[in-house]
Amino acid sequence: MQYCYQYPHPAVTTDIVVFTIQNQQLDALFVRRRNAPHQGQWALPGGFVDIDEDIDTCAQRELFEETNVSNLYLEQLYTFGQHNRDPRERVITVAYYALIPRDRLQPKAGSDAQEVNWFPINQLPELAFDHDLIIKKALERIAAKAHYSTIAFQFLPPEFTLPELQEVYQILRNETLDKRNFRKWIQSLDCLEETGDVRRNGSHRPAKLYRAKHPDVVEIIK
């Protein structure tokens, strides 16, 4: 399909922040750029929206082309449109974020990336474009949602213990939570169910295993 416009139009891209938790810290997924601008620099996966392509479809496509990661639930984060954010032309980007357990992903560099790697969010390399601002906005979003939603479940395997769930909430909120108060709060939400199994950890008392009642939905809680 051909288009001809009387006036200049900005280009549109998508950028994707993929978060996981490993070694008791929050990590994000980055690619080393193969092409200019910022060649060789670390950046979020992303790229230009095709003229006949939906924005959501572009985000999934670019994530796969650069990291070989697919079938993630992506949620729109924010639109970044500073006029000088890309040296090539006027570019507006729609940012997305995804949350995933570490063992579900085995990313590898695709055709548009030299390398792909996880970085702890408190030890990030110098990033291309304005991707440091995108990361900051994504961190603000998930920290806020950790106070009023079941977002933490997205980082966990299908079955987990309450201490494991509490640890995720502490990482997302960046604060220590009282064990008794946390258990009272989370069990009052009616979003968990016991599996009937336990997990043994050395000489410690076996811990009950739980699962989310609606694992594929981030529920809003009061």
Q: Which residues are catalytic?
A: 115
What is the C-alpha to C-alpha distance for residues 107 and 13, in angstroms, rounded to an integer?
Answer: 21
Q: Which of 132, 103, 96 is nearest to 21 (CA)?
A: 103
Strand ranges inside the chain, DSSP E: 11-22, 25-33, 42-43, 46-48, 75-80, 91-99, 113-120, 192-199, 207-212
- Tell me if 107 sits within 8 A of 64, measured CB to CB: no
End-to-end CA gap in the chain = 48
CA pseudo-torsion sign 150, 122, 74, 94: positive
- Displacement of CA 193 from its chain's centroid (Å): 26
On the 0-12 / 13-18 / 19+ scale of CB atoms within 10 A, 135 is buried
- Whether the link from the prior residue into 163 is cis, omega within 30° of 0, is no
